[in-house]
Amino acid sequence: MAIGVKVVERPIEETSYVRATLSGMGNTLRHLVRPHKVTTQYPEEREPLSRRWRGTHRMLTTEDGKAKCVACGLCPTVCPANCIKLVPGEDEQGNRYPLVFEIDEFRCIFCGYCQEVCPEEAIHVGRHYENSEYSRDGFVYDLERLTAQTHPVCEMWDPADPRGE
């Protein structure tokens, strides 16, 4: 029972594989002579990060090495993921400072609100992406860890053009 398939006769120039094979070989030859590299040889080579990259946090310090944080409580308030724990205290000079400042980097969604809201320019999200730990606890960064970070920090906005005009 024939179902009447219609077979269209095409010219040999269109159906021959020779032409397509030659074109593919030509492409290969061109890349042999003038290579177009796509793979980055990480970790020897690294791609540059955007200045607005938001990675794991860093706490900036004053000249005498103390955290700039005054424990105002705005970052735990604004944090949508609720990942910042802050207990305020008072030092010998009567200045406010954080007794406990912990960021759970696993909970963090890296929105950067903490940096944006900080009135003292203390807490920052970092231009940094290489994180590894032996335990989950290691990703709860305490104040010591946050101040010890050295990676560059995110620029939320261009200082020359703060309104993005």
Partner 1 sequence: MADTPLVNLTIEGRPVSVPAGTSILEAAKTVGVLIPHYCYHPGLPVAGVCRMCLVDVEKAPKLAPACATAVAEGQVVHVHDEKAREARKGVLEMLLINHPLDCPICDQAGECELQDYTYQEGRADSRYREPKRFNPVEDFGGDVMYVPNRCILCTRCVRFMEDVAHDAVLNVSERGDRALIGKFEGKDLTHAWAGNVVDLCPVGALLSKDFLNKARSWELDRTASVCTGCSQGCNIIVETRDNTVVRLRPRSNAAVNEFFMCDHGRLNYRWMNRGDRLESPSILGAAGQQVVDWDVALAGAARVLKGKRILVLASSNLSNEAMFVLSRIAKASGGAGASRMVTGVEAPLPGVEDLALRADRTANGRGAELLGFTRSDAPLSGLAQGDAVIVADHDITPDDAALLAKASAVVLVSTVMPAGLPRADVVLPICNYLEEEGTLTNLRGHVQRFLQARAAPGMARPSWFVLADLANALGERMDVLTAGQVFALLASSHPDFAGLSHEALGLRGRPVAGATAGATS
62 binding partner 1? (CB under 8 A): no
What's the closest the beta carbon of residue 138 comes to partner 1, in angstroms?
25
- Asked if 104 and 133 count as a contact pair (C-beta separation under 8 A), the reply is no
- As a whole number of angstroms, the distance between CA 122 and CA 57 comes to 10
Nearer to partner 1, 121 or 133 (CB): 121
What's the closest the beta carbon of residue 88 comes to partner 1, in angstroms?
5
User: Could you tell me the CA-to-CA distances from 143 to 19, 46, 68, 71 in Å, in that order?
Assistant: 66, 29, 11, 12
DSSP state of 73: S
Number of residues that bind partner 1 (CB under 8 A): 14
Q: Which residues contact 146 (CB under 8 A, 6 or more apart)?
A: 57, 58, 59, 67, 101, 103, 123
What's the closest the beta carbon of residue 101 comes to partner 1, in angstroms?
14
List the one residue from 119, 159, 162, 164 that touches partner 1 (CB under 8 A): 119
Instruction: Check whether the bond before 88 is cis (ω within 30° of 0).
Output: no
Nearer to partner 1, 55 or 69 (CB): 69
Nearer to partner 1, 120 or 152 (CB): 120
List the one residue from 71, 84, 103, 108 that touches partner 1 (CB under 8 A): 71
Q: Which residues bind partner 1 (CB under 8 A)?
A: 70-74, 77, 88-90, 94-96, 119-120
